[in-house]
Chains A and B, each alone.
Chain A
Amino acid sequence: MDRQTQLLFMGIGAILLLASLIGFILKRRSGDQPNPVVDNLNARINAWWVMVLVIGIAFWLGYSAVIVLFYAVSFYALREFLTLTPTRRSDYPALVAAFYLALPLQYILIACNWYGLFSIFIPVYVFLLLPILASLGGDSTHFLERASKVQWGLMIAVFCVSHVPALLTLEIPGYEGRNLLLIAYLVIVVQLSDVLQYVCGKLFGKRKIAPNLSPSKTVEGFVGGIALASLIGGALWWITPFNVWQSALIALLINLLGFAGGIVMSAIKRDRGVKDWGHMIEGHGGMLDRLDSVCFAAPIFFHLVRYWWT
């Protein structure tokens, strides 16, 4: 790990320490009464320690470990998505192809740095393959719905997520060997935006911004969280190939995309009648609950950097 990465992780550790301290004080002040908001806050903070530790270990091990990590992330996200998506018995071949062909191949293509194929593999080849496989079962019930759902799951959980490790394939002049920091920038800014939206919403939230789609999101949380996270994005310019202004503007863009991602994924959850995608991250819900904003921000961030900085 280079000096900047170490500094970054020490900074994150300091923030988490502070968060844990605040959580501890809040817990003490609420006394013996169980307080669901404080308990959930502490569960979330503890889960953040684990997530930061896992990402830290992957960064320390290097590029291959980061690709494997996001392969696992995609796997958990895809299984959560497809678990909540009703399919029929004749979708079995398409689902096998999703888990055992599309998912590994996408990450292999990224590991071999084959941009020309990994950027169209799922939107073109898999898009055509899945309905062909689904048609083999000879079952026309809800055919378009079923085919779309499997494709959508792959797009969100595999294609979009894979653009995070794909940042490692970019060759940015003057930024050689530092691409891990680009991943750190994206993940820190977007996740901080989620956290700050949650904090601002809890402290000042009054007006709901999308009551039918995501009842916990408020106008105050949206404005405060995105503004603060964009400022932090600007302040992190030193780990990016951008200058301060570019860094703040890009942070604003990915924060808006992340917010929109949260709304879209929440609309799907509500339609399926669930509150969370899964249960694997204590206090947060499932992998997709933590990842919804990154899914929407990653591909645009990737192409933005690829178009203007390489």
Chain B
Amino acid sequence: MFEPLVATLITAGARSVTGARSLWLGCTPEPTQRIYFANHSSHGDFVLLWASLPPQLRKLTRPVAAGDYWQKTPLRRYIISGVFNGVLIDRERKTPESNTLQPMLDALQDGDSLIIFPEGTRNLEDGLLPFKSGLYHLAKSYPQAELVPVWIANLNRVMPKGRVLPLPLLCTTSFGAPLYLTEDENKEQFLTRSRDALLALAPEQH
């Protein structure tokens, strides 16, 4: 019963610590079904991206998170499942016959939008790791959804790995133009194209 309140508190906290400036460069915030794919450098990434969306879109947008991390403690379980209605996936694939993507496809079938991090793990360096193939399989199995690249800038400085106290530095989330899988595109081509689209949103490094 407290989940909406906790969500409001976490969102307000994230927004006030980071300034949470959203730049809608390639699309507008509208309730189209989308898969937002972003760079991943901090556990706070999905919180900031979620908080950068207008409130009416937040209800329809579910972060995809790794079950092995988020199911470890009751607090994490509460936050990811209770508060953010996250879609948990099995990165380790304990049962080989299960399809890792199935929970995401189920959520899309229900009409929800998703937030995913196609690098698959947190990247501690600049730039982007190579994409895992999940984004391609989602685009292929569920072509109705728009794939929107989102660059989250500076959050790795706000909460570096292993640190608890956030630094109040300003963060910007840049939303790019939607992509679709084209018919003549293979997996590698599509993953390269989507990765380049995301990298193009990154601010220039001086």
Q: Do A and B come from one complex?
A: yes
Q: Mark A65-107, 1 if CB is under 8 A from B, else 0.
A: 0000000000100011011001101001001100110000000
B204 is contacted by which of A79, A271, A273, A278 (Cβ under 8 Å)?
A273
Q: How far is the CB of A29 from chain B (nearest CB, A)?
A: 32
Q: Chain A residues with Cβ under 8 A from B168's Cβ?
A: 75, 79, 99
How many pairs of residues, A versus B, come closer than 8 Å at their CB atoms?
A: 32
State whether the Cβ of B9 lies closer than 8 Å to any Cβ in chain A. Answer: no
Q: Is the CB of B167 within 8 A of A96?
A: yes
CA–CA, A193 and B174, complex, Å: 36
A80-B170, A99-B168 are known contacts. Are A273 and B206 too (CB-CB below 8 A)?
yes
Q: Which A residues between 212 and 240 are near B, CB-CB below 8 angstroms?
A: none
B206 touches A86 (CB 8 A): yes
Given contacts A82-B167, A87-B157, A89-B124, 6 further A-B contacts (CB under 8 A): A79-B19, A83-B154, A86-B206, A100-B165, A273-B206, A278-B170
- How distant is the Cα of A253 from the Cα of B30 in the complex, in angstroms? 53
Take A83-B154, A87-B157, A279-B21 as given contacts and tell me if A99 and B206 are in contact as well, using a CB distance cutoff of 8 Å: no
Chain A: interface secondary structure?
helix
The answer to whether A79 touches B170, judged by C-beta atoms less than 8 angstroms apart, is yes
Option from B163, B170, B204, B205 in Cβ contact (under 8 Å) with A83: B170
Q: How far is the CB of A85 from chain B (nearest CB, A)?
A: 10
Chain A hits for B165, CB < 8 A: 96, 100
B67 at the interface (CB under 8 A from A): no
Asked if B21 and A79 make an inter-chain contact with CB atoms under 8 angstroms apart, the answer reads no
A79 touches B169 (CB 8 A): yes
CB neighbours (8 Å) of B163 from chain A are 92
Measured between alpha carbons, how far is A86 from B157 in the docked complex, in Å? 9
26 A-B contacts (beta carbon < 8 Å): A75-B168, A79-B19, A79-B168, A79-B170, A80-B170, A82-B169, A83-B154, A83-B169, A83-B170, A86-B205, A86-B206, A87-B157, A89-B124, A89-B160, A92-B163, A92-B167, A96-B167, A99-B167, A99-B168, A100-B165, A271-B206, A272-B206, A273-B206, A278-B170, A279-B21, A280-B19
